[in-house]
Structure 1
């Protein structure tokens, strides 16, 4: 058994001003992941951007990319990202264009795609016209296909299953005020997000919910409730990200994200709520020294993987006795291992 208590930090981390009491608290999460998953830890670098730090990079071409069925357009334009998350995605706004893009990516050696897009005024990503094309991509190109959706109804949940998508990703929000103010959906509630989870699970999907830490303008508000709700539906994995204020509208950009210490406690709660399910850190989180601190805390909290790890984290994981596994795929695929 690996004992993190008393571990000496490498010189590059000595200026981080870590909370030792918190590190001791996170030790429980580390032991949970060792008991249930062993020493392997996944470091993901999906192909929508090149990422390289001193101790981590992937030299192969992209193997997994994101596609937006609405291009850069989002009808909802919520405060969270104001459509900017869509800007790095490949646009494919018709079924015919999606098929052409998928063929071109397959020829270039891409093995998997994530299909998403902007939401309508009801928080729905209108994937219905693309379902037959997704099925064709699965059957004729044998690609891994995941979809990052908004709220779903029974028709969409069953349609995605008929299309044979490999995984369904969706953001889960655990606070009605956040849904109304940040996501601009005052006519929706936490119950609608819970119903989406239920419908997707009943349709037989691999569900990989996402929780955005600090979504309520940098505050920790509904995250714990969201995690507890997710745990009831036996997800294939859980992805944790941190709000990135510079994506959002002006109000967001004036407010800081939550402190890494606050975020680490949310991750520990997720680890304890889902002891036998992979919990991974997704690509979205602020950069700089706070990212290093956050990633270090996440390792101690027992996550199964980290996407685009901060400099030094890959090496530090090895010093903790973990076995890093480098993956060019989206972190949502972690449940396949």
Structure 2
């Protein structure tokens, strides 16, 4: 099927199941929190701890809460050599946030079942990066894990908490490698939503000089997801290249059946308006 035909099919499926509504998220009421400061043991090929620098340390929440209207938290941090995000040591702080009425989304990584069970009771949702290509796991994350570890962790998470799989398109050197396998796996798992992000070549990382995946390849995967999963929300998340790339991608995503675009380009907004879509503005993390 040609991409244009696939986009038309995906859009018809979306409009049939969700009507003419589309969400645009500006998550200024969700505070991104790191439990490890700027530190990450793995120094992943695509990140190298860069994105932790823009997050608030969990020990410094009070000041941020006073300055901003916060309704929810995205709790994350750098990974350990085992592939988990060590947030369990802050379980009491997380429990307190939940008792105070905040909604909580967390990245847990390859956390043990015991720790998942202990922490998940305080979480509204877990965002889980689902990678099913062994070459990608080895080169990008630099850990001695396989796709089976990711499958097992995903299934454990589902036992205890709502989990939204995240798929980073082009994670392996900006190429498509394993993304369709993730969608095939998820067909048997009845996911409650999917969030797509796109590799950003980031300065100071192993991948700073590579090209992001071709926009047409990104759109084909998004269409594939909409066709396979006609009734669940599909998000285009905040992590994707900016500039001209984002302008083109976001506009094409409107025609590919997504339900939500985080920090949409002006072009995407204009396209939704011209289509006379019912635009809903959201103020928190897309999975919340």
TM-score by length of 1: 0.81
2:33 is aligned with 1:74? no
Aligned CA distance change for structure 1 residues 247 and 232 (closer, same or farther; 3 Å): farther
Aligned CA distance change for structure 1 residues 200 and 102 (closer, same or farther; 3 Å): farther
Q: Which of 172, 175, 197 matches 1:216?
A: 172
Count of residue pairs brought into register by the alignment: 287
Show the 5 A alignment for 1:224-235.
224-235=180-191
Shift of 1:107: 7.2
Match of 2:154 in 1: 197
Shift of 1:129: 1.1
* Post-superposition CA distance 1:34-72 (Å, at most 9, x none): 12222211101112xxxxxxxxxxxxxxx1110000111
Q: Which of 73, 87, 90 matches 2:56?
A: 90
Q: Is the 8 A contact 2:250 2:267 kept in 1?
A: no
2:101 is aligned with 1:157? no
* Post-superposition CA distance 1:222-280 (Å, at most 9, x none): 11112222343332221101000125624x11210111101100111111222111001
2:24 is aligned with 1:43? yes
Structure 1, gaps ≥5 residues long = 1-20, 48-62
Distance 1:124 1:118 in 2: 8
Shift of 1:106: 6.5
Q: Is the 8 A contact 1:85 1:247 kept in 2?
A: no
Shift of 1:132: 2.3
Structure 2, gaps ≥5 residues long = none
Match of 1:179 in 2: 137
Task: Say what the alpha-carbon RMSD is for the aligned residues.
Answer: 1.6
Q: Is the 8 A contact 1:23 1:297 kept in 2?
A: no
Distance 1:86 1:209 in 2: 20
* Post-superposition CA distance 1:116-159 (Å, at most 9, x none): 000011111011111222122111x1001110121122112211
Show the 5 A alignment for 1:298-313.
298-313=253-268
Distance 2:216 2:272 in 1: 19
Higher Cα radius of gyration: 1
Match of 1:269 in 2: 224
TM-score by length of 2: 0.95
Distance 1:30 1:157 in 2: 37
2:274 is aligned with 1:314? no
* Post-superposition CA distance 1:101-125 (Å, at most 9, x none): 1585167421011000000111110
